[in-house]
Amino acid sequence: MNVYLDNASTTKLSTNVFISMKPYIFDFYGNPSSIHRYGIEAKSILERSRLFVSEILNTDPSEIFFTSGGTEGNNMIIYGFIKKFKIKNVITSPIEHYSIIKPLKNLYNDGLINLNFLNIDEYGNIDYIHLENLLKKNNNSMVLLMHVNNEIGNINNISLISNLCKKYSSIFHSDVVQSIGCFKYNLQLLPVHFLVASAHKFHGPKGIGLVYMNKSTSINSFISGGIQEMGIRAGTENISGVVGFAKSLEIAYNNMKKNKSYIEGLKYRMICKLKKNIPNVIFNGNSGDMKKSIYNLLNVSFPSVNDYNMFLFDLNIKNIFVSSGSACISGATNSSHVLNFLNLKNNIYKKKGIRFSFSKYNTVEEIDYVVNKISEILLRLNHFKN
């Protein structure tokens, strides 16, 4: 049995999404900037897809910009907006994705911004009182906080954050890469200035994402060289990817309630079985709390495991495919800055973790198989210790 539980890194491409993309790979392959018929056809499907996505998100198509994914989108907003408007005070959390933290630290090191990190408790929860106090002291700040943490699954209250930013005349950007396939966004009701999303997190293709930019804001072009994407993002548009994004978002929204119920059941089953079979198992952050974390992610530490690289290798040998954290950094350092931060806050962690992330393609049988194999591996480790 092969079990893929690394869906927070990337998901399997939906067959229906691929079918929707196929004509725009083989038949309608023109450059949308060309003025001949093939180019006009490509431009037409690009704008129809933009309109379709904007209708799903309840916003104007002029506020949707297609990118290569979440990392580009976050960098695009940080460098394009902060530099343009010379924003001085920036507020974020120490457990954001590195595509937020690293460019902000670059600007801080260059002396361009004051960088404020919010207080976070031992479970990774944001201190909203601290956020409001910072906003009171620094009107016209920029706040960058993700909706759902991609490693521990904590859900931030972006409605509260949005309204606080509105109250103190500040700009709010939220990375919703980990959540957009699991939550419905009504951008007419949510007072957010920027959002970033990526299709491969909800069974769409890799290499395509979007930036939502409220019409009340603007940014400098991050990639220069052409007038594509309304002059905001130069480069020939990925037409088949755009089609795939639109289709995968449609499928996710139309099946969200059913998928949530099913995937929640898988996560709950795994929590119960791990608790029953493995003494002192630790669920990192809020990931073990069904009400405080996203339903498709579980981050787990096992007290008897010291070498998580070897543990991941053992799981791989059993055809169980998981990760120790964000795919963007785990291959290089195999260390989670999120869990490292929680280690500083709470001595019970002091361990790395394994991130199990589920999708509609997983089964109950797979969950049972994984827990059984984990139990076998841990039993062997304890045997060698003894």
As a three-state string, the secondary structure of 199-263 is HHHHCCCCCCEEEEECCCCCCCCCECCCCCHHHCECCCCCHHHHHHHHHHHHHHHHCHHHHHHHH
Q: Are residues 130 and 177 in the same domain?
A: yes
Domain containing 315 — which CATH number?
A: 3.90.1150.10
230 contacts 43 by C-beta, under 8 angstroms? no
The pLDDT score that the predictor gives to residue 379 is: 87
For residue range 51-60, list pLDDT tens digits in order.
999 999 999 9
Examine the fold and report which residue of 207, 233, 254 is the final residue of a domain before the chain moves on: 254
124 contacts 93 by C-beta, under 8 angstroms? no
Q: Which of 165, 182, 272, 328 is catalytic?
A: 328
Average pLDDT in the chain: 93
The pLDDT score that the predictor gives to residue 333 is: 44
Q: Are residues 304 and 219 in the same domain?
A: no
Mean pLDDT of 200-210: 98
Whether the predicted pLDDT of 332 surpasses 50: no
Mean pLDDT of 345-355: 69
Identify which has the larger pLDDT, 321 or 349: 321
Mean pLDDT of 68-77: 97
As a whole number of angstroms, the distance between CA 158 and CA 176 comes to: 10
Examine the fold and report which residue of 254, 286, 312 is the final residue of a domain before the chain moves on: 254
Q: Are residues 19 and 111 in the same domain?
A: yes
Range of the domain at 349: 3-11+255-385
Catalytic status, residue 328: yes
Model confidence at 380, in pLDDT bands (50, 70, 90)?
confident
Q: Are residues 124 and 45 in the same domain?
A: yes
The number of domains in the chain is 2
The pLDDT score that the predictor gives to residue 325 is: 65
